[in-house]
Structure 1
Amino acid sequence: MAMRYQRQQKNSIKANRYCPPDREISILLLGQTGVGKSTFINAFANYIVNDTLEEAVNDEIQVIIPSSFSYTDPDTFEEKQIAIGFEDEYETFSTKGQSSTQQCRSFVFPIGNRNLRLIDTPGIGDTRGIEQDSKNFQEILAYIAQYEHLNAVFIMVRPNEERLNILFRFSINELLRHLNIDIKDNIMFVFTNARSSFYMPGSTKKLLEALFNKHRLEYNVEISFSRDNTFLFDSESFRYLALCKNNIQLDENQTKSYTRSWDHSVKEYARLMKRINAHSLHAVSNILSLNEAEQLIRKLPRP
């Protein structure tokens, strides 16, 4: 029987109260179920508080979203369920294949004298079926309608995928269909778990190129996919922190590996923010007509 370690942790990050809306950096996160959007957000919170993994281990872990994962003891082969935080109406991690994020939510972080807003969304490819995916997608459009602008859209994928879920392809095409052509330069590709592919896109690169080539032929819109707008992260260092906070010790080689992962991801975050700041923001009003947005907002509940 799996052992379950769980601790309630609170984050100490507070947004800049006096940052005006037009100074906020708003980013929409999109990806298949299980791609790691929530872990990405949790890892980011710890990166902005501590410069190094060693400092983070000795500090309070920042838990923005409840998280759960399995860990196998190398000596006993016993599986342990590691949980940080508790499930709530927005987040669940007990049902395989079902999107952990149940509703769109925003998480705001202070970046200098500005705020960075990460908009987390339900994963695409929910096992509850196409109707649930359609509902999730409509909620995403309704949710972003409350904001004045988007600075970027992150399309989040894993490296070395053998195929892209058909619902993921459909949803990306639908999103691109709604976006004003000007935002195409604000689309960025975020690879999670990239340590497993030596921080390269792997076979997923060809799948995305085929997807955007088809989109170009059908809609005459070129979506750039290059090193400049591609970022490769590994958020496993957040799981390392969770293990440490649950009094599970890893050996020196494992610690060094997670330290390299932390250092690489921090550098990628810096490169990512530089890319975002180099591009103009995109008015949400260009994504949805006012009438369409109002219909969606009336139809769908929002947290």
Structure 2
Amino acid sequence: MENPKTYTIVVVGATVVGKSTLISAMENYLKWPKLEDAAKHLNKLEIRIPVQFTVTRKTGQSQVVSAGFADDKIQKNENFNNSGESVTQKPKVHLFKYGNDTVRIIDTPGLADTRGTDQDEINLKLIQKMAKNQEQIHGICIFIKSNDSKLTPQFEMTVRQLLSVFPKSALNNVFFFFTHCVGTYFGIGDVMNPLKELQKKYEESHGSTFSLEWNKMHCVDSESFRYLVCRKQNVEYSTRSEADFYYAWDKSAEEISTFFEIVKTIQPIPANKIEASRKLAKWTDAMKMKKPFIKPGQKAAYDHALECLKFMTKRHTLVLNKPELKTNIEFLSKNEFCEAIDEFLNVAEDGGLTLQKCKELVKILEDE
């Protein structure tokens, strides 16, 4: 028997897409692959993250259903007061078992928050800090509603902002989870075409892109989980037939299990590469700012070193300001990069320390 392992999954996406509810549902899907088994154990239903939603009875009356609010500390991390604001206020780790292994699901604040770009920037920094503190990350799960017929410029920027936290190699660890799939009979729905357009744009801007192969896309739904939450509280939940809930639970459980089996085979993203890509992008910007202060005798060495630095930053990061990294260099080995940096370091009076650090970062990122 293999030693138990831990798999870390980061869950990201726009606000109100259903991330937090699905995380609670996910644990139950793994625990009970069939709804009929879960229905026999309502008192053991796992609600990791507080849920709150409105149900409409056949009479037309509405009722707010809440669950999982026993812990005041948990309540402080959730916000159900404003539609469009992220429900999750800061990243939070949730641990649960998958066979003999442990799954670490990190729920993050949603982007495209109605409080504006300033709040998005705060949320992005929280996600960045969280990622830096992980030993390694196996999967980056981007949640999207399956019935979205188009992806707005705001959503595109959301994806770009999220992925800019990680090195370019992390594109292989990107998964897409399509939520609210019971309405599309667990097909991907209208969102596929705009997602292909985004994939193409990413290839054009970064020279690499995320995969949309079957093993990187998963259709899920949490409505059957809500159904059991209501059933436990003797609340009528009649949006669909009971057969639909059984179907949705079984399909979602199957998708979640398939996802984790795939995650077990994938190369994780090491924490040192996440931090190295962030610092490399930051220090490349710092070196560009030094150009007006470089002395004439150092200019040729500086220009060449900066071109090499831009090439490596473009190769290894997913920075947003890609046009600023334009360079005529088409290929550069790690040794050639180090030689260019050393050439400038031999004559540098300013910027040498930053470039020395950049050289060490590139060594980390180039290491297979």
**TM norm structure 1:** 0.84
Q: Give, in angstroms, the shift of residue 289 of structure 1.
A: 2.6
Pairing 1:163–2:150 present: yes
Q: Give, in angstroms, the shift of residue 171 of structure 1.
A: 2.9
Q: Deviations over 1:236-295 (max 9, x none)?
A: 1110011101102457x72111001111111111211121112111112212239849x9
Q: Secondary structure at the match of 1:144?
A: helix
**Aligned 1:187-226 pairs, distance under 5 A:** 187-226=174-213
CA distance in 1, matches of 2:29, 2:165: 33
- Seen in structure 2, the aligned counterparts of structure 1 residues 291 and 64 have a Cα distance that, compared at 3 Å, is same
CA contact (8 A) 1:32 1:165 kept: no
CA distance in 1, matches of 2:145, 2:84: 16
CA contact (8 A) 1:124 1:167 kept: no
Q: Secondary structure at the match of 1:203?
A: helix
Give ranges in structure 2 of 5+ residues lacking alignment: 283-368
**Residue in 2 aligned with 1:89?**
76
CA contact (8 A) 2:12 2:162 kept: no
**Residue in 1 aligned with 2:61?**
78
Q: Give, in angstroms, the shift of residue 134 of structure 1.
A: 0.9
- Seen in structure 2, the aligned counterparts of structure 1 residues 237 and 132 have a Cα distance that, compared at 3 Å, is same
CA distance in 2, matches of 1:47, 1:71: 22
Q: Give, in angstroms, the shift of residue 216 of structure 1.
A: 0.8
**Aligned 1:115-126 pairs, distance under 5 A:** 115-126=102-113
**Residue in 1 aligned with 2:292?**
none
Letter in 2 for 1:187: V
Q: Give, in angstroms, the shift of residue 159 of structure 1.
A: 1.0
Alpha-carbon RMSD across the aligned residues, in angstroms, is: 2.2
Residue identity (%): 28
- The farther-off stretch of 118-127 and 107-116 is 107-116
**Residue in 2 aligned with 1:38?**
20
**Residue in 2 aligned with 1:106?**
93
Q: 1:63 aligns with which of 18, 42, 47?
A: 47
CA distance in 2, matches of 1:163, 1:124: 17
**Residue in 1 aligned with 2:255?**
268
Q: Secondary structure at the match of 1:95?
A: coil
- Seen in structure 2, the aligned counterparts of structure 1 residues 291 and 176 have a Cα distance that, compared at 3 Å, is closer
Q: Secondary structure at the match of 1:124?
A: coil
Aligned length: 273
Regions of 4+ moved over 4 Å: 290-293
Letter in 1 for 2:60: F
CA distance in 2, matches of 1:137, 1:201: 27
Q: Give, in angstroms, the shift of residue 165 of structure 1.
A: 4.0
Give ranges in structure 1 of 5+ residues lacking alignment: 1-18, 296-303
Q: Secondary structure at the match of 2:148?
A: coil
CA distance in 2, matches of 1:28, 1:258: 27
- Seen in structure 2, the aligned counterparts of structure 1 residues 154 and 78 have a Cα distance that, compared at 3 Å, is same
CA contact (8 A) 2:33 2:254 kept: no
CA distance in 2, matches of 1:52, 1:273: 17
CA contact (8 A) 2:90 2:109 kept: yes
CA contact (8 A) 1:130 1:167 kept: no
CA distance in 2, matches of 1:165, 1:89: 31
CA contact (8 A) 1:192 1:232 kept: yes
Q: 1:278 aligns with which of 265, 271, 282?
A: 265
Q: Deviations over 1:82-122 (max 9, x none)?
A: 11122711012121111111111010112233210011011
Q: 1:186 aligns with which of 173, 176, 191?
A: 173
Q: Give the number of the structure whose residues are more often helix, by fraction.
A: 2
Pairing 1:235–2:222 present: yes
Structure with the bigger RCO (C-alpha within 8 Å, sep 6+) is 1
**Residue in 1 aligned with 2:10?**
28
**Residue in 2 aligned with 1:174?**
161
Q: Give, in angstroms, the shift of residue 179 of structure 1.
A: 2.6
